[in-house]
Structure 1
Amino acid sequence: MAVDGPDVAVPADLAAAVAERLPPLGRPAVVVPADGFLRPASLRFEHGRTDPDARYTDWLDVGALSREVLDPVGPGGSGEYLPVLWDVDRDRAARALPRPMPPRGVLLVPGALLQGVGLAFDVVVHLRVAPAARRRRTPTEQAWELPALDRYDDEVDPMTLADAVVLADSPDHPALVLQGRFS
């Protein structure tokens, strides 16, 4: 399950909350943040540290996320996933060991810009933050990323692709819209 949304929507918090509620229902859960599968700085920042186009297309290592996480836990996979590939703070391989997916386990992958790149998720929840709310809530030092999020909305239209949409303009008052439809 993808929990797709901009940083200001804190998709990792929703993924953690869902993961916490699943074991009592007989479904163990594993959270693997997409940020653990970012490309090395030399590739992410090839066009500068604040290039919104690079943020949109060059940061996430889609192939590695598929190869090391989604494919192994999917049908016919080995059942072992890599919890993290790249240590962004140190800009080097994380050297994590593969872990077994629990039987009947649910994999949650929180992150931004996860749809429209060919990742094989069974379910996608999109945390929708309207452009005006993103501009209000995004810290000044991250404002350069806003054009990438606008481009994502325009080119991918994540609300229509998602299985469920959570309107997250106000973190204290989220609203669920089922089946990716906004009315």
Structure 2
Amino acid sequence: MEVRPLTPAALADTLAERVHALPLPEGGRLRVAVDGAPAADPGGLAEAAAALLRLLGRPVVRVSAADYLRPASLRLEYGHQDADAYFDGWLDTNALFREVFDPLEPGGSGLVLPALWDARADRAVRALPVPLPPGGVLLLDGPLLLGRWLPLDLTVHLRLSPAALERRTPEDERWTLPAFARYEAETLPTDAADLVVRADDPRRPALVVG
């Protein structure tokens, strides 16, 4: 196993090049996930890679898991700080399939809804579907994405050691730490992902090769 230190910019460039080189699936559009705890900032890497892919002429639609959470009445049924509910029940996977992945299947409309639910206001987002033409790339980012049978062509996992995860997670979010420990134990994201990045130092991520 080789660990290759990179700058954040070089990591984004590496991801964009890897995505750009992928063969198109039957539906004609690539589906990529950047998985990681909020402390690892998967959205930042997804946004940087999206900008580079657009420069390469690839249409990109970004979707954040934070915009596909279930309503508070379901999400917080067992309280505001239930780690098992955070692991199992916060993400609206059915809505992701219906609004994001199903339209990208062969014969689908190609219209992706970039956001569904505003978790802070606890109401639907007034977003319009966005067309993703053939050859385009869906970039999904967020925590706990692997192991959910999402139809993805490339997966990236930003790994934080337990110490780094605790250190970089804000005090009011540390109740989620048992969920990430469970994710490591049950989902084995470093084995499940196509690309693994050690992200303990945000200034010096390292790509795991081999």
> Tell me, which stretches of 5 or more residues in structure 1 are unaligned?
none
Percent identity of equivalent pairs: 56
CA–CA distance in structure 1, aligned partners of residues 77 and 188 of structure 2: 27
Question: Does 2:116 match 1:85?
Answer: yes
> Deviation of residue 145 (structure 1)?
0.2
CA–CA distance in structure 2, aligned partners of residues 121 and 74 of structure 1: 11
Q: Secondary structure at the match of 2:140?
A: strand
Question: Does 2:124 match 1:101?
Answer: no
Paired position in structure 2 for 1:117:
148
Paired position in structure 2 for 1:34:
65
AA aligned opposite 2:85: A
> Deviation of residue 95 (structure 1)?
2.9
Alignment of 1:125-136 (within 5 A): 125-136=156-167
CA–CA distance in structure 2, aligned partners of residues 143 and 48 of structure 1: 15
Paired position in structure 1 for 2:80:
49
CA–CA distance in structure 1, aligned partners of residues 106 and 37 of structure 2: 29
> Deviation of residue 108 (structure 1)?
0.3
CA contact (8 A) 2:61 2:130 kept: no
AA aligned opposite 1:12: G
Paired position in structure 1 for 2:23:
none
Higher RCO (CA < 8 A, seq sep 6+): 2
Q: Secondary structure at the match of 1:21?
A: helix
Question: Does 2:183 match 1:152?
Answer: yes
Q: Deviations over 1:134-170 (max 9, x none)?
A: 0111111000000000000100001111110111011
Question: Does 2:199 match 1:168?
Answer: yes
Alignment equivalent of 1:142, drawn from 150, 173, 178? 173
Cα-Cα RMSD: 1.1
CA–CA distance in structure 2, aligned partners of residues 75 and 150 of structure 1: 37
Q: Deviations over 1:17-54 (max 9, x none)?
A: 00000122221212111111100011111000000000
CA contact (8 A) 2:59 2:132 kept: no
> Tell me, which stretches of 5 or more residues in structure 2 are unaligned?
1-31
CA–CA distance in structure 2, aligned partners of residues 74 and 168 of structure 1: 33
Q: Secondary structure at the match of 1:22?
A: helix
CA–CA distance in structure 2, aligned partners of residues 140 and 61 of structure 1: 26
CA–CA distance in structure 2, aligned partners of residues 23 and 83 of structure 1: 17
TM-score, normalized by length of structure 2?
0.82
